[in-house]
Amino acid sequence: MIKPPMRKPVALMKQTGMRSELTDDQLPPVLRVRQLCCWALLAGCAAVFIRDTLAPQLGVCVESVRADVKCKTDCRGLLGVPGIPPDLQNLEISVHIQSPDPKDKVQALYRTWLARCPVYLALTKPLSIKVTLTKTA
């Protein structure tokens, strides 16, 4: 198996033409996937959990549910550029529920989602994570 040579972040940025501020369409595919995975997990948990689990449990009629997630990130941090954090920042989610039921029932549904959504809770509460490494030949 031939391994590609390791490139330093600054060299990679010069070689790929990366600038300090990039739009989503200029991000390398692996970095776009990172953003999309985070958004998809949270948005999917909101929409599916509300519609398929919580609404029936609480007797709320949900005609449609949509979750919009956005955040800021600087892909230079993933490349190891000094002084640039690699983490996601300013994560926001907007949940839109269309329902003929009264607002108080929909609010109760939303509060229940906040209390039970495993993805939301994992992002908002301190969480112990066990990480292991297995090296294979």
pLDDT in tens, the chain (137 residues): 444 444 444 444 444 444 444 455 555 555 555 555 666 777 888 888 999 999 999 999 999 999 888 878 787 887 788 898 888 788 888 999 999 999 999 999 999 999 999 888 888 888 888 989 999 98
Say if residues 46 and 117 touch (Cβ distance below 8 Å): yes
> 117-133 burial string, b = 16+ CB within 10 Å, else e?
bebbeebeeeeeeeeee
Q: pTM above the 0.85 mark?
A: no
CA distance 14 to 24: 18
pLDDT at 1: 47
Strands of 2-137, DSSP E: 64-72, 89-98
One-letter amino acid of 130: K
Query: How far from the centroid of its chain's Cα atoms is residue 40's Cα?
Result: 6
Domains for the chain: give ranges and CATH numbers.
9-121 (3.30.300.20)
